[in-house]
Amino acid sequence: MQLAKNNGGSFECPMRDGTTINERAITALPVNSRAEDMVEYIEKMSLTSPEQQQVQCDNCSDQLAVHWCEKCGTNYCDSCTQFIHSAKALKAHIVIPLAQKPRLFFCTAHPDAKYRFWCEQCKLPVCRDCLLMQHKNHPYASIEDAAAGVRAQLQSSLQWLEKKEEKPRQFLTKINGLIEEQKELYRTEETDIEKLFAELRKALEDQQRSLTDQLKTTVTEILSQLEKHQKRVNEDLRMLEVQKHYTAQLRDTKDDLELLQKTNPEKETKTINEINSGLTAKHITQITQEELPTVQKRLVLDPEKLEKFRCELLSVAHVKAYVCWNLSSPTGKEEKWNMACLRGYQFQLRSIVNLRSVQVKANVEGPLFVYVVDEHGKIIRKSIGQGTGSMSWIKVPTVAELKTAYGVFFGSDNGIFAARYDGSSNVRTVNLDCSVESKFVDRNGEQRTDTVLSGATTVPWSLEMQIEIET
């Protein structure tokens, strides 16, 4: 255009064949597409080399891309490369440095023509010549339009995946909370058990020391008496041995006259008389059986006392027996309750009882929750059971102390409870020790230990429920 202006409004062909073109007709000349593609390519390549270009990660858009995945056809930063290809199904993808990424600007079949279109039938990039030859009559679109369509589909898929992700994430959050709560309950109960058995060990060790001291004292007294008698008897035996020896000597005397003289009391020397007087049978200690202490098989714990002590230990350490209280109404029309609220009973008890487990008749898929609340409605114990997916009795181990005005409630995210409608909201007697009122409480937020359940309402329906308590 500038040449035409400088040449009086016309442009002479560079081939110098005498052809001139008016300034106004220049823009009407056909475009040499190959030359245009070459110019565009050279301009782009001259701006920056692949090593100099800074490309954002196609996945996170936060970091610079440093890798190219041939299978994904995507630029990734270090973190996204490792995260996405950590999945087993994607580990076989070939990932190369971004600088080595092939730059497919020009058609491999027609090297002087640039890719400008996408063959919808073959799912390949094509140039103008391809559309006239190998891909003739194939449906196609510009690469920009085709990519825009794929992006729209991916966006739709992403929205669908994000929507599908909501429930599992909510469920995972709830599961994580339940896991932490169950771990905390475990730690608390483990501490209680350790404390209990530490106290039992101390009590047993104290009792052992006391019984051992009593045993030592008793044995010392008995042995002292026996050793005193033993000493007296040993002295007498030594005196008898001396007498036996002297008597044997006399018996063995060969001279008869000498024998008679020595055994004549009137003519014996003083020494012999003293020996004989000390060795006469009447001076020998006479110990009767009655004087000796009786050897006892049990010095501290006689059989009766031992058995009593053993029973006391077993009553503390052994598993206790349980009884079951059926809280269900014996009359009334059978009903089914949904899980929209927490349902259960408030107790009136003659004395404190130790709860061990709770059973409810229900059709529940997934977890079933038991809440023990105090007289102020505060949850003091939360237990978790598992539904069977059919109407059946579900037992949930629940260890807690029950007092008057305490309550036990059930809840679940889905399913139904079995109940009976008897038309009465009055307190119902279960047995001599227990009466109940049927209640329900609205579920507001998540119920955790120390959460306060307010607004319990009495209803004329009775939940099919049983509790197991210690006798």
DSSP one-letter string for 350-416: SS-EEEEEEEEEEE-SSEEEEEEE-TTSBEEEEEEEE--SSSEEEEEEEEEEE-TT-EEEEE-SS-E
Please state, in angstroms and rounded to a whole number, the distance separating the CA atoms of residues 469 and 402.
Answer: 9
Which helix (H) or strand (E) segment holds residue 438: the answer is strand 434-442
Q: Parallel, antiparallel, or unpaired: how do β-strands 333-338 and 140-142 relate? A: unpaired
CA 64 to chain centre: 41
Q: What is the pLDDT of residues 212-262, one digit of tens each?
A: 898 898 888 888 888 888 898 888 888 888 888 888 888 888 888 877 877
List, in order, residues 6 or more apart from 91 with CB less than 8 Å away: 85
Q: What is the pLDDT of residue 141?
A: 93
Residues of the chain short of pLDDT 50, as ranges, are: 15-16, 46-52, 270-271, 281-282, 319
> Residue type at 307?
E
Q: Are 338 and 414 in contact (CB under 8 A)?
A: no
Q: Parallel, antiparallel, or unpaired: how do β-strands 117-119 and 140-142 relate? A: antiparallel
Q: What is the pLDDT of residues 164-213, one digit of tens each?
A: 999 899 888 888 888 888 888 888 888 888 888 888 888 889 888 988 89
CA 111 to chain centre: 64
Query: Both tokens of residue 214?
Result: 């009593």
List, in order, residues 6 or more apart from 436 with CB less than 8 Å away: 327, 345, 346, 347, 348, 427, 428, 430
What size, in residues, is the chain?
471
Q: What is the pLDDT of residue 171?
A: 86
Please state, in angstroms and rounded to a whole number, the distance separating the CA atoms of residues 252 and 247.
Answer: 9
Q: What is the pLDDT of residue 174?
A: 85
3-state secondary structure of 142: strand
Please state, in angstroms and rounded to a whole number, the distance separating the CA atoms of residues 410 and 177.
Answer: 18
List, in order, residues 6 or more apart from 290 with CB less than 8 Å away: none
Q: What is the pLDDT of residue 393?
A: 92
Residue with tokens 């006798």: 471
Q: What is the pLDDT of residue 359?
A: 93
Q: What is the pLDDT of residue 307?
A: 66
What are the CA-CA distances from residue 304 to residues 300, 313, 420 (Å)?
A: 11, 15, 53
Please state, in angstroms and rounded to a whole number, the distance separating the CA atoms of residues 2 and 10.
Answer: 10
Return the CATH class of domain 322-470.
mainly beta
